[in-house]
Amino acid sequence: MSRTSILKLIGLLLVSLVAASADNGQPVTVKGFVLDSACAFTKNLRKPISADCAKACARGGSPLVILADNGTIYWPIADTTPASGQNDKLLPFAGEKVTARGTVIQRGGSNAIIIQEISISK
């Protein structure tokens, strides 16, 4: 076997190992507030200042996130390629406490959620 073939085989094995160890996601239910990502990080909020504030920031381009009751921030993502922004899906819930059901994917300390169902919490 040539050196090039061996290197290609090693590369293929490494890619396979990385793909096999990737977190394919876990089904979860997340309860928390929908607010803009800037406030979630820079203001250390436990909940949005107001629904109007969260909606204004979202309309200005700030991605909406779900700030869970335990402080975890979930970034809503699409499960399609090409991906699409999720603000349109979340805008009706901006500033509200919600229950979101979906699949969570963790990578590099970040938490993303592919939302299958979302509703205002009672």
Residue 71 domain flag = yes
**Number of domains composing the chain:** 1
Handedness of CA 101, 60, 69, 72 (dihedral sign): positive
For range 91-108, the mean pLDDT: 96
Q: Is 10 contained in some domain? A: no
Q: Residue 12: is its pLDDT beyond 50?
A: no
Averaged over 72-83, what is the pLDDT? 94
What DSSP line would sit under 4-30, residue for residue? Answer: HHHHHHHHHHHHHHHHHHS---EEEEE
Residue 6 lies in a domain: no
**52: its two tokens:** 């109007």
Residue 113 sits in a domain whose CATH number is: 2.40.50
Check: CB of residue 98 under 8 Å from CB of residue 68. no
Q: Report, in this order, helix, strand and coil percent for the chain, each rounded to 5.
A: 35, 35, 30
Pairing of strands 73-76, 110-120: parallel
Would you say residue 89 lies in a domain? yes
| Domain-embedded: residue 80 | yes
**Cis preceding linkage at 82, omega within 30:** yes
Q: How confident is the model at residue 9 (pLDDT cuts 50, 70, 90)?
A: very low
32: in domain:
yes
The token duo for 45 is 């909020």
Determine which of 21-25, 65-69, 114-118 has the lowest per-residue pLDDT on average.
Answer: 21-25
pLDDT greater than 50 at residue 15: no
User: What is the average pLDDT value for the chain, to the nearest integer?
Assistant: 85
Domain-embedded: residue 5: no
More confident residue, 88 or 16: 88
Asked if residue 58 belongs to a domain, the reply is yes
**Residue 10 reports pLDDT greater than 70:** no
Residues spanned by the domain of 72: 23-120
Q: CB neighbours (10 Å) of residue 38?
A: 14
